[in-house]
Structure 1
Amino acid sequence: MTEAHGSSAVGLSKAASGGGTATGTALLDVQGLSASYGPVRALDGVSLRAEAGRITAVLGANGAGKTTLLRTISGLVRPTAGRVVLDGQDITRAPVEAMVHKGMAHVPEGRGVIAELTVDENLRVGSLFRGKVGREEFDRVYDLFPRIAERRDNPAHTLSGGERQMLVIGRALLARPRVLLLDEPSLGLAPKIVAQIFGLVRQLVDSEGLSVLLVEQNARSALSVADTGVVLNLGRVVVTDDARTLAADEDLRHAYLGF
């Protein structure tokens, strides 16, 4: 297990002993990333690694810096320090519009769809800045998400929350990213739908070698599907370890994860 910044919070005496995460080649390597909103430091030297074929869950309370971390990695927020390296290439200062071509897709919190357009039209709009996207790519998305395939001609405003989440994830997958950033995909959804979406994400990771960086408030569900967990507190990494080890650490869960 990797502990950072010398936190003395309850539970870390157990969490800091032994264990360890996988040591394969990182597809995404975040090194000492810091970011601020005016005088407020939202990230303070965050480092993490995400490997191909693995889900890395970023966990923590509201205000821990989870969403800011994804926004900084994808270029929506400019860091004040640190580096973001994707497959050996420094992309820290790359423009947001270039990230898709470099192999990264970001699904932000909120399930943003264009309500008046159909499912199929939403997918086509989402593909416009990704360059040429073939029919087979659309068919692949519909194969992955049969529920939205059944509703491809329906306006997006008629979809349920879970179906909208499937649509925005499918839209991101059109570019065949190597790294997928997922921000709070379970927000507002019923547990059964959350399990279905997480199961589909796990299937993609296992079958296609996708690397997923998953930000989640629902720590229990995230750890059940993730390989590695990274716990943030006030913009700093508290601990990094195997997801099952984190889930089993009762003191750590109570101190930082709320279950």
Structure 2
Amino acid sequence: MADTGAHGSTASGAGAVGTSGAATGGTATAPAVLEVEGLSAAYGPVRALQDVTLRAEHGRITAVLGANGAGKTTLLRTISGLVRPTAGRVLLGGEDVTRAPVEAMVTKGMAHVPEGRGVIAELTVDENLRVGALFRGKVPSEEFDRVYSFFPRIAERRTQTAHTLSGGERQMLVIGRALLARPKVLLLDEPSLGLAPRIVAQIFAMVRHLVDTEGLSVLLVEQNARSALSVADTGVVLNLGRVVVTDDAARLAGDEDLRHAYLGF
């Protein structure tokens, strides 16, 4: 495990994992849909990620937590191919996709919902959803109905242009659009940003429901550590681009020293 010196007692006491991703506490791990091994990335001379190793398992939420500047968003951007790593590799379903073109990631089973709720404002809700399925050709109407069933609020607004939606509704729309790509793993970057606590709770509850009912694997980057840990199965704490600790989400939430040192609550 990287960089445990600042909080080594908590890391070892919490049953942290090493670079293999296998838990030391004896808990069996589910099959990994996504594996990140020794990933490093830089912006010019600035090292943003240093030897990051983690795994996202089938039917589970892995929350990546840390302060601003910890490298969380860079991690997702590097996994999805938007940033090229300087070292390490990314495996998706056992296939090395480290150097795969960004546009190929969707067809291979990865959907990335970046920070900022990037809807296409001039298109209707329904048209925005259809953008998520363009690469698949003709998609049965039942699949759109399925996504609308997850998000009734946007179903009521399917003919409205996206610029009329609230922030929470836009977040639901971009998640729904990603689901139409039928991903194996969903990368979610700061879905709670700028939203009221009630809306955050609704969105996180829906993500949890999708994981439990659809078997989706979710890698969730989130500044709101308390909310993220309440729905996640596993937590990964980053500090200055390094993994500080990886452990069961409930144990991380209960570790007061680690929360105060790295998570701000």
1:14 to 10, 19, 22: 10
Cα deviation for residue 92 of structure 1 reads 0.6
Q: Is the 8 A contact 2:2 2:51 kept in 1?
A: no
SS at match of 1:24: coil
2:260 to 251, 254, 257: 254
* Unmatched runs of 5 consecutive residues or more in structure 2: 17-22
Residue identity matched to 1:100: V
Alpha-carbon displacement from aligned partner over 1:72-127 (angstroms, at most 9, x marks no partner): 10011111110100111111111111111111100000000111211111112232
| Rounded Cα–Cα distance in structure 1 between residues aligned with 2:207 and 2:126 | 21
| Rounded Cα–Cα distance in structure 2 between residues aligned with 1:115 and 1:86 | 32
Cα deviation for residue 18 of structure 1 reads 5.2
SS at match of 1:94: coil
Alignment of 1:28-177 (within 5 A): 28-177=34-183
| Rounded Cα–Cα distance in structure 2 between residues aligned with 1:184 and 1:135 | 30
* Unmatched runs of 5 consecutive residues or more in structure 1: none
SS at match of 2:42: strand
Q: Is the 8 A contact 1:100 1:130 kept in 2?
A: no
RMSD of aligned Cα (Å): 1.2
| Rounded Cα–Cα distance in structure 2 between residues aligned with 1:112 and 1:18 | 37
| Rounded Cα–Cα distance in structure 1 between residues aligned with 2:226 and 2:260 | 12
| Rounded Cα–Cα distance in structure 2 between residues aligned with 1:241 and 1:130 | 37
Cα deviation for residue 8 of structure 1 reads 2.4
Aligned residue for 1:205? 211
Deviates further, 125-134 or 76-85:
125-134
| Rounded Cα–Cα distance in structure 1 between residues aligned with 2:244 and 2:74 | 16
Provide the TM-score with structure 2 as the length reference.
Answer: 0.93
| Rounded Cα–Cα distance in structure 2 between residues aligned with 1:242 and 1:100 | 29
| Rounded Cα–Cα distance in structure 1 between residues aligned with 2:137 and 2:114 | 21
| Rounded Cα–Cα distance in structure 1 between residues aligned with 2:150 and 2:246 | 31
Provide the TM-score with structure 1 as the length reference.
Answer: 0.95
**Structure with greater contact order relative to length (CA < 8 Å, sep ≥ 6):** 1
Q: Is the 8 A contact 2:53 2:243 kept in 1?
A: yes
| Rounded Cα–Cα distance in structure 2 between residues aligned with 1:19 and 1:59 | 17
Q: Is the 8 A contact 2:50 2:241 kept in 1?
A: yes
Aligned residue for 2:19? none
